Amino acid sequence: MRIENSSRSFRHILSFILCAILVLPYSSPTEANERTDLEYLIFRYAVPPGGLPEPANSHDRLLALNEILSNSAAAGRGHSLLNGSGSLATAKKRLNKSPSHQVVIHAGAKRLNTGHFAPVRFRVKRRNGEVGAYIRIYFHLSLAGTSRLSTSIVYAHKYSRSKVKDTVTSRPNPSTWVIRDTRTITVGEVNYVDHPRFGVLVVATPFP
């Protein structure tokens, strides 16, 4: 129990330090508006709390890449991969140099005609190669009054298209759970959403 609590405390301290360092380069934030897009970076903890290191592989990012690159995919529409550019490029370089983290995906999201952002999803493979967790992330940026970013993470322990709906308002299956985070944001400010298995950095960016 003491080891588990120590691991959990260490992870929270590490996350706090990471966020503080990553936010430093950004300044002079402005209010978000209807022309604001999003940029996000998803990374995994190479050594889970209380667990052993997992072998580095590209399987966990295949689903997200396929959906972003496919024009016919509903999920991932409006998302584009960022390679060496963007507001989170510096954070990506730092995470790539860290032995404790693995960058899964770095991309940007543009609003659809409805004014919303399409969900993005990816999977995490188990160590034995079997299909493991299926994760879908939803972003919603409200501009009524104060700009508020809502992030919902739908986590299914086993991959199944029928179990995870396209709306976060659907009643979750017992084998799934949802993390919801809502906060006031400003353009250029880096926001960090924590998860026991991975982390999400997201920043609102002005429309070019």
What's the pLDDT score for residue 153? 86
The first and second tokens of residue 82, run together, are: 């960022």
Higher pLDDT, 28 or 188: 188
The CA distances from residue 81 to 54, 66, 105, in Å, are 25, 11, 8
What's the pLDDT score for residue 121? 82
Residue 76 has pLDDT above 70, yes or no: yes
What's the pLDDT score for residue 14? 56
Indicate the range of 3-12, 80-89, 94-103, 157-166 predicted with least confidence.
157-166
Residue 129 has pLDDT above 50, yes or no: yes
Residue 40 has pLDDT above 90, yes or no: yes
Per-residue pLDDT averaged across 122-127, rounded?
Answer: 69
pLDDT class of 206 with cuts at 50, 70, 90: confident
Residue 203 has pLDDT above 70, yes or no: yes
Higher pLDDT, 136 or 134: 136
Kindly give the pairing relationship between strand 190-194 and strand 198-206: antiparallel
Phi/psi for 112 (5° steps) reads -80, 180
The burial of 59, by beta-carbon neighbours within 10 Å (0-12 exposed, 13-18 middle, 19 or more buried), is given as middle
pLDDT class of 116 with cuts at 50, 70, 90: confident
Per-residue pLDDT averaged across 94-109, rounded?
Answer: 86
What's the pLDDT score for residue 147? 80
The CA distances from residue 119 to 13, 39, 110, 154, in Å, are 29, 13, 11, 10
